[in-house]
Structure 1
Amino acid sequence: MDTQHRSVVVLSRALDQAGDALAAVHADDWGRPTPCEGWTVRELADHLAAAPRRFLQLAHGEEVDWRAGTGVEPYALPAHFRSHADDLIHHWHGQPEDRVAQADRQTAELAVHTWDLVRALDRPLPLDDEVAERGLAFLQQGLTADNRGPAFGPPVEVAEDASAYDRLVSFAGRDPR
């Protein structure tokens, strides 16, 4: 399978695992802290649930306010996410091959925040190594010390044999330990 088409396949898996993580949130989890400094599970879940719609807005050339919430009740976040995730995948299937690799940016965002949510919940949920590897490859192409902004701290050192997700999140400034 060619690299461009693979971008959409891996994004689809990133969306699936993010949806599963959102569905694993219980009402008593909302106030828990997350690896995203200053964010609760409720805030992170809302941000993650908003991502597919925001990605579509970007694709259509619209202004995106990443701080704006979904506007849906917490219990509805998984359904909201999955509905817009389906729309996002349909969008990518309709794109020319020379644009499809741009889906890797979305995979990276979803992979990091899915890990953040799973870590905050402290429940075992399977995470796809290829999602992490593709997300890491994307971040390594363009994330530098100068453009990390508030969302990404400096890289955290991990062992050479660290898991794909540990390498991804450590590059994004999270401490997987």
Structure 2
Amino acid sequence: METIDPRPLYARATEQAAALIATVRPEQLAGPTPCAEFDVRTLLSHVVGGTLRIAVVGEGGDGLAVRPFADGVADDGWSDAYEEVRERVLAAWASDARLAEPVKVPWGEVPGGQALAGYVMELVTHTWDLAEALGRPTELDPEPAEFALAVARRVLPEPERDADTPFDTARPAPEGADAHGRLAAWLGRSPLPHD
């Protein structure tokens, strides 16, 4: 049962993601990310598309009909594309009533607050992926990561994951890892090597 309103943390997570996306240069788009199947461009496409999906859910639409990847974004247009869906998602979830209403998301039908909490986890995780890919150009906010880690441990309590789970088997967190590092490890990610 979700007792914490996820909206303020989601808003902070979107601010953090927007600031990081604004640092991406076109020459970085083909670079690797900790999410092995995504380069930076594909990761950005997924962040924009996934944000649009939860915006449509918040608006009362069928989020499952929204492809969780954005198409047709110019190399220098990712920041604007994200800002557009970010404004839309925050408006879509402004009503307190949305938190209790049942919504359909990829993992089932759940109250809106639980769905949005899942998207806090998703966004914070992919923001860490992007920060790693870009060489950690900005400091990440620990509070959304602590919330996301609690969500991750609740929805994925077992460290072993099967092929139907969109996250890999948990890894040990590096010693002294911050909340983002512990979240990434719980979701099966490893930091990229940095010089």
Report how far residue 54 of structure 1 moved.
Answer: 1.4
- Provide Cα deviations, 1:83-120, integer angstroms capped at 9, x if missing partner: 11111111111141533343211110000101001101
Task: Report the Cα distance in structure 2 between the residues aligned to 1:4 and 1:70, rounded to whole angstroms.
Answer: 34
Identify the structure with bigger relative contact order (alpha carbons < 8 Å, sequence gap 6+): 1
Q: Greater CA deviation, 52-61 or 7-16? A: 52-61
2:67 counterpart letter in structure 1: D
The residue aligned with 2:113 is 100
Task: Report the Cα distance in structure 2 between the residues aligned to 1:93 and 1:22, rounded to whole angstroms.
Answer: 24
Task: Tell me how many residue pairs correspond in the alignment.
Answer: 174
Instruction: Indicate yes or no: 2:181 matched with 1:166.
Output: yes
Q: TM-score, normalised by structure 2?
A: 0.79
Distance 1:32 1:146, change over 3 A: closer
Instruction: Indicate yes or no: 2:139 matched with 1:126.
Output: yes
Say whether the 8 Å CA contact 1:30–1:42 is kept in structure 2: yes
Q: TM-score, normalised by structure 1?
A: 0.87
Task: Report the Cα distance in structure 2 between the residues aligned to 1:124 and 1:85, rounded to whole angstroms.
Answer: 21
Unaligned residue ranges in structure 2 (runs of 5+): 101-111
Which protein has the bigger strand share?
A: 2
Give secondary structure in 2 for the equivalent of 1:141: helix
Report how far residue 161 of structure 1 moved.
Answer: 4.5
Say whether the 8 Å CA contact 1:46–1:74 is kept in structure 2: no
Report how far residue 69 of structure 1 moved.
Answer: 2.7
RMSD: 2.2
Report how far residue 74 of structure 1 moved.
Answer: 2.2
1:64 counterpart letter in structure 2: V
The residue aligned with 1:41 is 40
Report how far residue 160 of structure 1 moved.
Answer: 6.7
The residue aligned with 2:67 is 65
Say whether the 8 Å CA contact 2:49–2:70 is kept in structure 1: yes
Distance 1:123 1:146, change over 3 A: closer
Give secondary structure in 2 for the equivalent of 1:168: helix
Q: Percent identity?
A: 28
Unaligned residue ranges in structure 1 (runs of 5+): none
Distance 1:138 1:147, change over 3 A: farther
